[in-house]
Structure 1
Amino acid sequence: MVKLKFGPATLVAAAFIGPGTVVTASLVGANYGYALLWALLFAIAATIVLQEMAARIGVVTQQGLGENLRLAVQQPLLRQLFILLVVAAVVVGNSAYQGGNLTGASLGARSLWGDLTWVTFFREDVRINPWAVILGGLAAIILWQGQYKRIEKILIALVVLMSVAFLITFALSKPDFRAILTGLFLPSVPAGALLTTMALVGTTVVPYALFLHAASARERWFSGENKASDESTTAALTEAKADIYTSIPLGGLVTLAIISTAASAYFGSNEEITGAADLAVSLQPVFGDLATYLTAFGLLAAGLSSAITAPLASAYALTGVLGWSTNMRGWRFRATWFCIIIIGVLVSSLGIQPFALIVFAQVANGILLPLITYFLLLVVNQKRMGKFANTARQNIVAGLVFMIALALGLRSIWLALT
C-alpha cells in the first residue's frame, strides 16, 4: 500500500498548476462544462507514468536528465541538437512564460490587496509594475538560499494553500457530482473542443517538469552521497512513488476544482470568460465574497509557485546538459534562474507580449516532448539501471504515453505555425 507523502513531485504539481493552467481550466469549464474531465484524468495518468520514470532515473543514477542525456547521446551532432532543443524549449520557453507566471500572481495580489503605485522607469511611458517586482524578488530570495529542502517545504506549503483555496471555492460552487462522474468516465468531445482537449492535456504534460523532477529527486534523497546501496535506493523509490501518488493527483484535483467552479458559474450562461481574473470577479455575485477572495488567493499561490519552479527547472536543465556544476549555490546555476526571473519581471511589468519567443518555445517544446519521452524510455532501460529498469508492462504503458506525447508535440508545432 502506497502511503501519502509530499516531496519532489509537489514541485511538479507547483509547476503545472500555474496561471496558464488556471486560464485553460477556466475556459474548459465555462465553454464545455464537465465534458472534458476525462482528458484531465488521462493527463494525470500520463504525467504519473512519465514523472515516475524521471524520478527513478534521478534516484538510481543520482543524476538529472541533463547529465544522463550527455552520457546516453554520444554522437556529437545529435548531442548538440538535444542541447539546443533543451535550451530553446526549457530555458528560452520559461523566460517567456515567466512573465505569465508573475502576471497571474500579480492579478491575484491586486484582487486581494489592491493596486500599488506604478514606478516610472527612465521615461514617463515606461513603468514598472510593483507587484511583479515584489513577487519576482520573493522568488529570487527563495532560490538564492540554495537549500533544496527549504525550497521544497516552501513549495509544498504554496501547493497546499493553493489546493485549499481552490477546493473550498469548488465546494462553495455547489458542483454537480453526477455530471463530474459522467465527464470523468464517459469520454466525449463536444463540437469544436478538440484543440481545447489537447490544450488541457498539454498544460499538464510538460517537458521541463521532467528535468525538475529528476534533479529534485536526486537532491531530496542522495545529494552528496557517492554511491547508494540497493536497500537505500529501494527505500527512496518507495518514498518517491508515495510522493508521486500524493502530489500529482492533488494537482489534478485542483484543476478539476477550477473546471467545475467555472462550469458552475459560466456554463450555459451568456457571460464570456477570457481569463482567471474574470473568474475571480464573476464569482462574487453568484457565490459571495469568500469565493472571490479564495480564487484570487489560489491564483496568487499558483503564479508564485510556478514563478519559483520555472527558473529552478531551467537552471537544472541548462547546467545538466552543458556539463556544468548543478550545485544550487554555483554562480552559473544562480545566473540562469536569476536571468529568467529578471526577464519575467520585465515582461510582466512592461506589458510586453513576447509572441515571437512564445511561438519559438512552442515549436521547441513540440519537438522536445516526444524526444524527451523517448529518451526517458532509453535511459530507464539501460544496464546502469540494473534491477530498477522498466518492466515489460511499464514499457508498454510508457510507449502509449509516447504516442500521445508525439501527438501533443505535433499539436504545439501546428498551433505555433498557424
Structure 2
Amino acid sequence: MSYTVYNSHQFMQNEKKTKKKRKKKEVEYLFAQSAKALDKSVGAAIKGGRVVARAAPMRRAGEYWEKLGPGLTTGAADNDPSGIATYSQAGAQFGTQLIWTTLFTFPFMALVQEQAARIGIVSGKGLAANIRHHYSQKTLITITVLLFSANTLNIAADLNAMSAGARLLIPWLSMETLTIFFALVSLLLQIFTSYARYSKYLKYLTLALLSYVITALSIHLNWTEVIQHTLIPSISFTKEQIFLLAAIFGTTISPYMFFWQTSQEVEEHVLKGETTIKIRQHMVNKTEIRDMRTDVWSGMFFSNMVAFFIFAAAAGVLYTHGITVATAADAAQALRPFAGNFAYLLFALGIIGTGLLAIPVIGGSSAYAVAESFGWRYGLYRKLKQAYAFYGVIIISMVIGVVANFFHLDPIKGLIYAAVANGLVAPIILFFIAHISHDKKVMGKYRSGMLSTSFMWTTIVIMTLSGIAAVTTLFL
C-alpha cells in the first residue's frame, strides 16, 4: 500500500517536472521564434544585400548602356581601317612619340560631336538641312561635293583594308571577291534592315574594337615610356611626321562624323514617334541633352582609348623591331612573329569588324548630306521605296569605292590621303557647326556657351593649320 502511494507520489512529481520542462520549452520556443525570425531577417538582409550589391552595379551598367547610341557608334566608327592604318603607321614609324595625340584630340573631338548632336536634337534636323536653311545653296553644295569625295575615297580605302585583313584569314579568296562581298553585306544591312534593328547591330559591333585593347595588353610594353609620351607631347617637325600628324587629326576629327551624329540624333527621335520637326523641337529637355552628352563623351573616350592601344601595340612591337607597315593588314601580319597568333587573329578580325561598322556610317553620312542639300526624302528609318534617292547615294558611293579597288590603287596612299582629305574638309564644316550651335535663333537656350565656342574655334584653327601643313609637305 505504502509502495503504491510512493509510486503515485513519485509519478505526480515526475509529471510536474515534465510539465515544467514542457513549459520551459514552450517559453523557450516562443522567445526563440522571435530570435529565429530576427536571425532569418538578418540573414536574408545580408543575402539580399549581397544580391543588391551585385544587381545594383549591373542595373546601373545596363542603364548606362541604354543611354549609349549615336555617340558610341560614331566614336567607334572613327576607328575605321583607315584610322587603324594611320595609327599603326605612326606607331611603327615613330614609336610612342605621337601617342600624345590620342589624349590631345579627345576634348576637341568630343566637344565637336556634342555640338553636332546638340544641333540635331534642338533643331530636329540634320546638319546639311540646317546649313541649307541658314546659308546659300551654293555653299552647301560645295561642302556636300567635298564631303562626298572625301567619304568615297575613305570607303574605297576601307574596303581595300577589310579585304586585305580578311585574306589573312582566308587567303584563297581574291581581293576583288572580298571587296564585292563586304560592299554587298554593308549595303544589304543598311538598306533592308529596319533602323531599330540596324542601330543595335552597329552598337554591338563597336565591341569589335576591344580586340585592339586586348592585343596591346597581351604584348609586353614599356608602359612607363608609353605614359610619359602620352602626357608630354613630342614632335620633330620632319616632313614625314607633319604629314602623318595631319593624317591623325584628319582621321580623328572626320567630317562624316559630324553629319552622321546630327542625323542619327534625329533618327533616334523619329524612332520614338517624333515624326515632325515641330514635335522634335518641342520635346527637347535638359535630361535629353544630359543623356546625349553622356553618350557622346563616352563614345569619343572609347574611340581615343582604342586609338591609344593601337598606337601602343604598333610602337611596342613594330617600332621596336624596325618594321614599317603600309596597311592595317600589314600591321597584323607583322605582329604575328613577335606577339603570337592570338594578337595576329584579334588584329585581323578587328579590321573586318571596324570596317563593317564604319563603311555604313561613312556612306550614310554622304547620303544624309546630299539628300538634305536637295530637300529629298531621307532617313534610314524609311524603306527603300520611300527614299530612293537617299539610298541611291549610298549605293553609288559604295560602287565607286568598289570600282576604285579594281584599279589596284596604292593602299598606303589611299588610306593616308583619305585621312588628309578629311582633315582638309573638316575645318570648313566646323565653321558652320560653330556658327549654328552658337546661334540663339536656332538653338535658343541650348546654344553653346563661350567656353564651348572657344574650343570650337581652337579646333578649327588646329585643323586648318594641320591641313595647310599636310598640303605643304606634298610640295617639299
Q: TM-score, normalised by structure 1?
A: 0.88
Match of 2:159 in 1: 102
Larger of the two Rg values belongs to structure: 2
Match of 1:405 among 441, 460, 463: 463
Match of 2:290 in 1: 238
CA distance in 1, matches of 2:226, 2:411: 37
Match of 2:392 in 1: 335
Q: Which consecutive residues of structure 1, in runs of 5 or more, have no partner in the other structure?
A: 119-127
Q: Answer with 290-299 or 237-246: which moved more.
A: 237-246
Q: Does 1:43 align with 2:105?
A: yes
Match of 1:153 among 200, 206, 212: 200
CA distance in 2, matches of 1:311, 1:152: 15
Match of 1:224 among 271, 275, 285: 275
CA distance in 1, matches of 2:184, 2:435: 39
Query: What do residues 71-118 of structure 1 show as CA deviations (whole Å, max 9, x unaligned)?
Result: 111xx4xx303312322x2212222221111111112211123322x5
Compare the two structures and name the one with the higher helix fraction. 2
Q: Quick one: structure 1 residues 229 and 132, their matched pair in 2 at CA, closer, same or farther if it must change by over 3 Å?
A: closer
Q: Answer with 171-180 or 191-200: which moved more.
A: 191-200
Task: Give 1:36 shift.
Answer: 1.2
CA distance in 1, matches of 2:230, 2:338: 25
Q: Quick one: structure 1 residues 13 and 363, their matched pair in 2 at CA, closer, same or farther if it must change by over 3 Å?
A: closer
Q: Quick one: structure 1 residues 417 and 35, their matched pair in 2 at CA, closer, same or farther if it must change by over 3 Å?
A: closer
| 2:456 counterpart letter in structure 1 | A
Task: Give 1:412 shift.
Answer: 4.8
Q: Answer with 133-142 or 107-116: which moved more.
A: 107-116
Match of 1:387 in 2: 445
CA distance in 1, matches of 2:296, 2:211: 21
CA distance in 1, matches of 2:227, 2:179: 39
Alignment RMSD, CA only?
Answer: 2.7
Task: Kindly indicate whether structure 1 or structure 2 has the higher relative contact order, using CA contacts under 8 Å at least 6 residues apart.
Answer: 1
CA distance in 2, matches of 1:412, 1:324: 36
Q: Quick one: structure 1 residues 291 and 367, their matched pair in 2 at CA, closer, same or farther if it must change by over 3 Å?
A: closer
CA distance in 2, matches of 1:190, 1:41: 18
Query: What do residues 324-352 of structure 1 show as CA deviations (whole Å, max 9, x unaligned)?
Result: 12233300111000111111222224424
Query: What do residues 340-383 of structure 1 show as CA deviations (whole Å, max 9, x unaligned)?
Result: 11112222244246999999988975654222112111111222
Q: Does 1:135 align with 2:192?
A: no
CA distance in 1, matches of 2:86, 2:111: 23
3-state SS of the aligned residue for 1:37? Answer: coil
Q: Does 1:377 align with 2:424?
A: no
Query: What do residues 153-179 of structure 1 show as CA deviations (whole Å, max 9, x unaligned)?
Result: 222222212x22111101111222212
| 2:185 counterpart letter in structure 1 | L
Q: Answer with 135-144 or 274-283: which moved more.
A: 274-283
Task: Give 1:180 shift.
Answer: 2.0
CA distance in 2, matches of 1:402, 1:69: 17
Q: Which consecutive residues of structure 2, in runs of 5 or more, have no partner in the other structure?
A: 1-59
Match of 2:216 among 151, 167, 170: 170
Q: Does 1:80 align with 2:138?
A: yes
Match of 2:243 in 1: 195
Q: TM-score, normalised by structure 2?
A: 0.78
Match of 2:351 in 1: 299
3-state SS of the aligned residue for 2:252? Answer: coil
Say whether the 8 Å CA contact 2:86–2:247 is kept in structure 1.
Answer: yes
| 1:224 counterpart letter in structure 2 | T
Q: Indicate the percent of aligned positions where both proteins have the same amino acid.
A: 24
| 1:169 counterpart letter in structure 2 | T
